[in-house]
């Protein structure tokens, strides 16, 4: 009979995927369902990027690349970050960068501190690698950000990593330079703790963004910066992400990658190179479009009784508190509330509990204006109609 390995005993299909699949199943049955549930830009991949991929394929870039990434792409990433090429690894999405790092460094029982709400995969990847997620709740009053004192309290002799994500999925929160420096001060006192800073939404910012390594250059020798083309360049399907960190870590991550994928897709790496080195004008256009959507989404949600939506600083998610609306509509949990919105009102959203903070939901505004308007008016009439 089928044996499920201990290492994935706590792994379940992500609630985000489950909801998207449920929404798609309802749509297939002819139901009118608006999905605002996935973290994928609705903008197309820029045409010059697609052309670069086409050219690369025709020119014969169709073979295995170096496991760690093509020299050209690594050089472009290194130049952008002001680091040596040896400090850069290219992987099959930012997700694989994180998985490589955890598989390369965690021993059973090692702890990884993560402020909640966090991107769901952090906890699952850590568990799969044999580590233990240590979740630090950072609620709306704290601006969804980790405080130095909460960090200090969470660190134990078993702590291997702190995972930071700015701008955040699911809250859009951005840590200021001063906030990062305050966290760095705590970390200075704990030389065994490494920092994974996931900056995949860095370009999608509506207020100034500071890289962790710029705020805390003294910690570079134990910081892994994660980034990729999925979000800012609308390239989720190309599966290119990268890690920037000390060469010894990068080498260990490459050893993992060598036994899992042999390296990222050659054609997608050529495309990512074009995204990073080509015309950047589209980036600003997409950012401003998202900013306009953010403003409309926040205004619409704030107008709904029992929903309180702080304005996100970046990325493309709203993470409103919905406890008032849950109570008013007779739902005990955010999951029940979201299920009701999907089944009875045709709008798919993700409950906060999927991100480690209940009493909220995540609404992605990486959707067309028409879908957003429809979804928002359904939420308003569902909650208001009771
Ligand atoms: N990090 C965060 C915070 C994300 O939200 C996502 C995607 O949802 C990723 C990483 C993964 O990105 P990629 O498509 O590069 O694997």
Which residues are 225's β-sheet partners?
197, 244
Distance CA 285, CA 114 (A): 32
Instruction: Check residues 17 and 152 and name the one with the higher pLDDT.
Output: 152
Is there a single domain that holds both residue 35 and residue 60? no
Is there a single domain that holds both residue 116 and residue 263? yes
State the pLDDT at residue 11.
Answer: 82
Q: For residue 302, give the CATH number of its domain.
A: 3.90.1150.10
pLDDT of 262 > 80? The answer is yes
Is there a single domain that holds both residue 145 and residue 91? yes
CA 321 to chain CA mean position, Å: 20
Task: Give how many domains the chain has, as a whole number.
Answer: 2
Residue 260 tokens read as 């899992």
| Chain position carrying tokens 């609404």 | 363
d(CA 88, ligand 1 centre) in Å: 18
pLDDT of 39 > 90? The answer is no
Q: Which atom of ligand 1 is nearest to the CA of 165?
A: 3
Find the mean pLDDT for residues 42-65. 97
Q: Which atom of ligand 1 is nearest to the CA of 40?
A: 8
> Which residues constitute the domain of residue 112?
47-277
Mean pLDDT of the chain: 96
The domain boundary, picked from 220, 254, 277, lies at: 277
Assign 386 a pLDDT band (cuts: 50, 70, 90). Answer: very low
State the pLDDT at residue 379.
Answer: 97
Q: Which atom of ligand 1 is nearest to the CA of 94?
A: 15
State the pLDDT at residue 385.
Answer: 57
Residue 245 tokens read as 């960190």
Is there a single domain that holds both residue 74 and residue 220? yes
Find the mean pLDDT for residues 197-203. 98
The domain boundary, picked from 277, 298, 318, lies at: 277
Under 8 Å between Cβ of 111 and 158:
yes
The domain boundary, picked from 277, 304, 323, lies at: 277
ipTM score for this prediction: 0.99
Is there a single domain that holds both residue 202 and residue 287? no
State the pLDDT at residue 12.
Answer: 75
Q: Which of 23-27, 55-59, 112-116, 213-217 has the lowest mean pLDDT?
A: 23-27
Find the mean pLDDT for residues 306-323. 97
Instruction: Check residues 169 and 15 and name the one with the higher pLDDT.
Output: 169
Find the mean pLDDT for residues 46-63. 97
Is there a single domain that holds both residue 252 and residue 153? yes
State the pLDDT at residue 6.
Answer: 86
State the pLDDT at residue 13.
Answer: 77
Q: Are strands 241-244 and 88-91 parallel, antiparallel or unpaired?
A: antiparallel
- Whether 1 is in a domain gets the answer no
pLDDT of 330 > 80? The answer is yes
State the pLDDT at residue 9.
Answer: 81
Q: Which of 35-39, 131-135, 193-197, 354-358 has the lowest mean pLDDT?
A: 35-39
Ligand 1: residues within 6 Å at CB?
39, 93-95, 119, 165, 169, 198, 200, 228, 230, 236, 241
Instruction: Check residues 6 and 122 and name the one with the higher pLDDT.
Output: 122
Rounded to the nearest 5 percent, the helix, strand and coil shares of the chain are 50, 15, 40
d(CA 282, ligand 1 centre) in Å: 20
Q: For residue 111, give the CATH number of its domain.
A: 3.40.640.10
Find the mean pLDDT for residues 136-142. 96
Query: Is this prediction's pTM over 0.90?
Result: yes
pLDDT of 16 > 90? The answer is no
């Amino acid at each position: 009979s089928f044996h499920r390995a201990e290492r994935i005993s706590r792994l379940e299909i992500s609630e985000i995927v489950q909801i998207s699949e449920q929404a798609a199943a309802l749509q297939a049955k002819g139901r009118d369902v608006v999905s605002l549930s996935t973290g994928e830009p609705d903008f197309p991949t820029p045409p010059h990027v697609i052309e670069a991929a086409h050219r690369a394929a025709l020119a014969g870039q169709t073979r295995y690349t170096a496991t760690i990434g093509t020299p050209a792409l690594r050089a472009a990433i290194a130049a952008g970050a002001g680091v040596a090429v040896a400090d850069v690894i290219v992987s099959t999405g930012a997700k694989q960068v994180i998985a490589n790092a955890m598989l390369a460094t965690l021993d059973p029982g090692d702890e990884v501190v993560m402020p909640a709400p966090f991107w769901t995969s952090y906890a699952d990847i850590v568990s799969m690698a044999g580590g233990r997620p240590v979740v630090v709740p950072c609620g709306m009053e704290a601006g969804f950000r980790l405080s130095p004192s909460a960090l200090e309290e969470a660190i134990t002799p078993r702590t291997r990593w702190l995972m930071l994500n700015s701008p955040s999925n699911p809250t859009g929160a951005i840590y200021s330079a001063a906030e990062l420096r305050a966290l760095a001060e705590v970390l200075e006192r704990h030389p065994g703790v490494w920092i994974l800073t996931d900056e995949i939404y860095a370009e999608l910012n509506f207020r100034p963004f500071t890289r962790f390594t710029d705020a805390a250059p003294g910690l570079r020798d134990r910081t892994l910066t994660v980034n990729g083309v999925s979000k800012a360049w609308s390239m989720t399907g190309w599966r290119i992400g990268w890690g920037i960190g000390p060469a010894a870590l990068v080498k260990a991550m490459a050893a993992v990658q060598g036994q899992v994928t042999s390296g990222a897709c050659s054609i997608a790496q050529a495309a990512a190179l074009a995204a990073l080195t080509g015309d950047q004008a589209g980036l600003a256009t997409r950012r401003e479009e998202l900013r306009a959507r953010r403003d409309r989404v926040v205004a619409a949600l704030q107008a709904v009784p029992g929903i309180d939506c702080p304005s996100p600083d970046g990325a493309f998610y709203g993470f409103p508190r919905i406890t008032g609306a849950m109570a008013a509509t007779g739902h005990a949990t955010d999951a029940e509330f979201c299920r009701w919105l999907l089944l009875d009102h045709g709008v798919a959203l993700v409950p906060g509990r999927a991100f480690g903070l209940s009493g909220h939901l995540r609404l992605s505004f990486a959707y067309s204006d028409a879908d957003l308007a429809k979804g928002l008016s359904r939420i308003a009439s569902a909650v208001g109609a009771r």
